[in-house]
Amino acid sequence: MTDGPLSDLIVLDLTRALAGPHAAMMLGDMGARVIKIESPTGDDSRGWGPPFVGADDERESTYFMSANRNKESLVLDLKADADQDVLARLVERADVLMENFRVGVLDRLGFPVSRLHELNPGLIILSITGFGHDGPEAKRAGYDQIAQGEGGLMSITGTAQPTKVGVPIADLIAGMNGAYGVLAALHERTRTGLGRVVRTSLLAGMVGVHAYQGTRWTVGGEVPGLAGDHHPSISPYGMFATATAPVQIACGSEGLWRALCGAFGWDPAEPEFATNALRVANRDALIERMETFFADEPAEHWLAALSVAGVPSGKVRSMDDVYSWDQVLSQGLLLTVDHATQGSLDLPGSPIRFDDNPYSGGRSEHLAPPTLGQHDASIREWLDS
């Protein structure tokens, strides 16, 4: 048993790679018991590296570790009758089943939605696909970088050419969307007593985060291009070079523009830059002015001056800097867990906190990502109890 707001839930995680595992991990972070069902060869991401950690006979992928904390691992061969029986018994006890097979695979394995709901009418089923479960391209395999391109995100990211985001953002957003869809269905079940299927996809996640870039086209009739390091609709809002490292500045209002000008002795009513619309139209000239001004002093000097002026600003931190930053540590965003073969490990933490609980995700003790089949015996014993 665990603590946390979802500690009464049992989740069967049949997913692999990243989108589905991330969704299941989000529920596990909040206390759900997540049973990760893996094939005899394990989740694909167990082989994604380098980097790996551990000796060859106990080698673990750091990629796998990023999406599988707070889970137990059970190995099942779903083409074998005996293991299909184990899955059926698990379904009878579960609250949620998550899968990200290609369309039709779960049906061919003998577990269509109709059978799952015969076994457990209250079961919530999350299905994550690449491009949606229906439509003309439903059978396409879903891979993050392809979805970033097909979903338009790469067309607005980068400077000289379309660029992918530095993490598998299509997978991660699909997982987040799946997790909150599951929670909505669980809430509905308190009224109806019945489960339902929740569907999302990598493509839906990409289109769903277009925000103002989407309405630039759908409402304004303007096709957005590469945004680079500066906001397409607000200026100055972006990254600026200094004598040492770049600084980021966000002047999201006319008041902040006046504060910035006051700090640097500029006239905020100068005709070329007097309004946000003018500053956007003359962005290149404003960037040149600011970077010429900033070239005389290091980044820390300008960050201090901007802070005194009350202008939102910041540095661009490397990953090692992020995870040693006292603000990150204060938010529970670094967890220490005890891994079965690797010992004490630090992992990125849950982004969710609750007001009566200082712990990341709401549970007081987090589980390390499991080794393959680590919990086979304990789960089977629990099923037989």
Please identify every residue annotated as catalytic: 171
Tokens encoding 288: 């040149």
Look-up of token digits 């707001």: 5
Q: Which of 286, 122, 102, 277 is nearest to 189 (CA)?
A: 122
The 96-99 sheet, strands edge to edge: 72-75, 33-38, 10-13, 96-99, 124-129, 197-201
Contact indicator for 294, 247 with CB cutoff of 8 Å: yes
- The 3 state secondary structure assigned to 50-78 is CCEECCHHHCEEHHHHCCCCCCEEEECCC
- DSSP conformation letters of 101-144: PPTTHHHHTT--HHHHHHH-TT-EEEEEESS-SSSTTTTS---H
The set of residues, in sequence order, having a beta carbon less than 8 Å from that of 361 and lying 6+ positions away, is 4, 29, 30, 31, 70, 349, 350, 352, 353
> Token pair for residue 163?
């660029």
Burial class of residue 202, CB neighbours in 10 A (0-12, 13-18, 19+)? buried
